[in-house]
């Protein structure tokens, strides 16, 4: 595997006696290890491998340069907990009950690939953020579904505001030190970054000039500074990826480890995270394994979290469980298959995200990406997609347009709400909070910002109808409660951890 100087310098201090015999990719005489590196809230476009001029990810790039870069990787949900639960179970979020929504429980009867790997003799563990937010104890489990927890070693006080106090690499090193000799392992490196909050720094004019502002956000100094704070946290995630890879190198395990790099959902900005738009569900996705003969392969076909789950099981030689709905990418990684169909479909969806509506009402969406197009079904278009605009605080109705809790509390949001009547900000405010049609349809190759809805286009009527039919048929086939007339179950799953907010009853709410 090609190495970049970012973590090569770390390796200079590692004794050569720590090196062990390397196994060739796919050599099952020594079970392959698996490292999953998952950032928290990062859109696909924000890596240097994707061409971003203001986000630097040299370690991710190095894995992509020696392995596989998936241009169209899709998270299973635009929110943390359901995306991570879908990845763990290999199923669509609507198939796994309360684990498929935000801040609820993760019932023990849903098998995870972590449990199946451990049953097969793997040592399993995680550092940082595993599955969550949610209550795994309430689901009957005795630990986080991501494995045994390694979060004891901290960075200390010398870190930026917003950076988790976790020395991810040192915690991984502890995990490795407890492993039996030659025992295969699965490790989940779950950075908290680039999740809000941020350092809220003022950056230089030269740094600001490099920022590419999405067309759905106002192009202001505040927006550019916030995106630079976000980029700093992406770089923190990437820096510790390099340090963890250095630990693997020192243990002689790097070339026998399947490395998967991704994020749980898109960036925590208006019209991105917690939405079905491309910036909410289109995430980085890279796979590396040893000295691949297909170095630097870029895959255009859409690939989803369910495919990653199937790949992990297949790589471990355990086969893909029947309940897993994805397709293993191992034949592609091994060189037994040259390409995937660009016309294959991948799916995502959401229900509740934050506490942002009366009685924690959801905003249900189902999403499908296939070829150039993204289709979104919003099953309750009468509800506010960004959450209700006003909350009740200490029994009193709060200020108008100061809630919208589906949008993360960034400086961008604050500026947008405070200036919502300004002629420049007004269109961006309405893009972020206005109600949306039941069906939306976008060519995300031409329009990654998802501003040109093609659902009413006569030119696209036939292909739009085809996508509607395919998404609807898939939801019914896979048992989505929304498609079978009992979507109310999503309102009944308890919201366990996190802030509970109170909102006025909507005029059209039926008890």
Residues 79 and 228 placed together within one structural domain of the fold: yes
Residues 196 and 316 placed together within one structural domain of the fold: yes
Dihedral in degrees, nearest 10, Cα atoms 97, 306, 366, 384: 70
Per-residue model confidence (pLDDT) at position 497: 80
Closest CA to 403 of 422, 387, 420: 387
How far apart are the C-alpha atoms of 133 and 270, rounded to whole Å?
21
3-state secondary structure of 91: coil
State which residues form the domain around 177: 30-341
Q: Is residue 38 part of a domain?
A: yes
Residues 153 and 238 placed together within one structural domain of the fold: yes
How far apart are the C-alpha atoms of 88 and 101, rounded to whole Å?
14
Residues 362 and 325 placed together within one structural domain of the fold: no
Chunk the chain into consecutive blocks of 10 residues (it has 511) and report each block's average pLDDT, rounded to whole numbers.
38 31 44 97 98 98 96 98 98 98 96 97 98 96 98 90 96 97 96 97 97 98 98 98 97 95 98 98 94 80 98 96 96 89 98 94 97 98 96 94 97 98 98 98 98 98 98 98 94 89 87 63
Q: Is residue 137 part of a domain?
A: yes
What residue ranges in 433-490 does DSSP mark as E strands?
439-443
Q: Is residue 428 part of a domain?
A: yes
Rounded to the nearest 5°, which phi and psi values hold at 283? -125, 165
Q: Under a CB-based contact definition with an 8 Å cutoff, are residues 65 and 219 in contact?
A: no
Residues 235 and 355 placed together within one structural domain of the fold: no
Residues 251 and 353 placed together within one structural domain of the fold: no
Using the 3D structure, point to which of 341, 360, 392 is the last residue of a domain: 341
Q: From residue 246, how far is each of 66, 290, 497 by CA, in Å?
A: 16, 14, 36
Per-residue model confidence (pLDDT) at position 292: 60
Residues 441 and 392 placed together within one structural domain of the fold: yes
Per-residue model confidence (pLDDT) at position 438: 98
Q: Under a CB-based contact definition with an 8 Å cutoff, are residues 464 and 375 in contact?
A: yes
Local structure of residue 354 (DSSP, 8 states): S
For the chain, the domain total comes to 2
Residues 213 and 336 placed together within one structural domain of the fold: yes
């Amino acid at each position: 595997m090609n190495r970049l100087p970012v973590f090569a310098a770390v390796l200079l201090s590692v004794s050569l006696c720590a090196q062990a015999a390397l196994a060739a990719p796919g050599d099952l005489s020594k079970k392959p290890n698996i490292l999953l590196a998952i950032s928290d809230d990062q859109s696909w476009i924000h890596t240097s491998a994707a061409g971003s001029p203001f986000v630097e990810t040299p370690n991710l790039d190095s894995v992509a340069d020696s392995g596989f870069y998936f241009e169209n990787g899709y998270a299973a949900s635009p929110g943390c907990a359901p995306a991570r639960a879908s990845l763990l179970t290999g199923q669509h979020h609507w198939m796994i009950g309360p684990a498929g929504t935000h801040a609820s429980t993760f019932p023990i009867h849903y098998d995870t690939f972590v449990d199946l790997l451990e049953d097969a003799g793997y040592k399993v563990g995680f550092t940082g953020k595993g599955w969550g937010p949610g209550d795994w104890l309430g689901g009957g489990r005795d630990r986080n579904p991501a494995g045994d927890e390694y979060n004891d070693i901290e960075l200390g006080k010398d870190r930026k505001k917003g950076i988790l106090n976790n020395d991810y690499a040192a915690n991984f090193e502890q995990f490795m030190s407890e492993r039996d000799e030659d025992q295969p392992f699965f490790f989940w490196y779950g950075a908290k970054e680039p999740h809000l909050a941020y350092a809220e720094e003022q950056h230089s004019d030269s740094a600001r000039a490099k920022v590419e502002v999405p067309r759905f956000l106002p192009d202001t100094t505040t927006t550019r500074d916030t995106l630079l704070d976000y980029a700093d946290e992406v770089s923190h995630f990437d820096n510790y990826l390099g340090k963890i890879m250095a630990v693997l190198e020192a243990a002689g395990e790097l070339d026998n480890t399947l490395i998967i790099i991704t994020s749980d959902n898109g960036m925590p900005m208006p019209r991105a995270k917690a939405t079905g738009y491309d910036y909410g569900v289109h995430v980085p996705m890279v796979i590396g394994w040893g000295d691949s003969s297909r170095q630097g392969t870029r895959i255009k076909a859409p690939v989803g979290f369910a495919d990653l789950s199937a790949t992990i099981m297949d790589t471990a030689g355990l086969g893909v469980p029947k309940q897993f709905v994805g397709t293993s990418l191992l034949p592609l990684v091994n060189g037994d298959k040259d390409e995937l169909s660009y016309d294959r479909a991948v799916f995502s969806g959401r229900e509740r995200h934050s506490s942002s509506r009366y009685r924690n009402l959801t905003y249900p969406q189902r999403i499908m990406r296939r070829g150039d197009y993204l289709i979104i079904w919003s099953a309750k278009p009468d509800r506010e997609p960004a959450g209700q605009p006003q909350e009740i605080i200490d029994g009193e109705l709060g200020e108008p347009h100061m809630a919208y809790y589906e949008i993360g509390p960034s400086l961008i949001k604050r500026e947008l709400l405070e200036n919502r009547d300004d002629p420049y900000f007004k269109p961006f405010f309405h893009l972020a909070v206005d109600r949306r049609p039941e069906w939306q349809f976008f060519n995300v190759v031409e329009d990654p910002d998802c501003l040109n809805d093609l659902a009413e286009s006569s030119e696209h009527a036939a292909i739009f109808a085809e996508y509607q039919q395919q998404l609807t048929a898939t939801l019914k086939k896979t048992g989505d409660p929304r498609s079978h007339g009992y979507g109310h179950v999503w309102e009944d799953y308890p919201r366990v951890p996190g802030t509970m907010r109170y909102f006025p009853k909507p005029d059209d709410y039926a008890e």
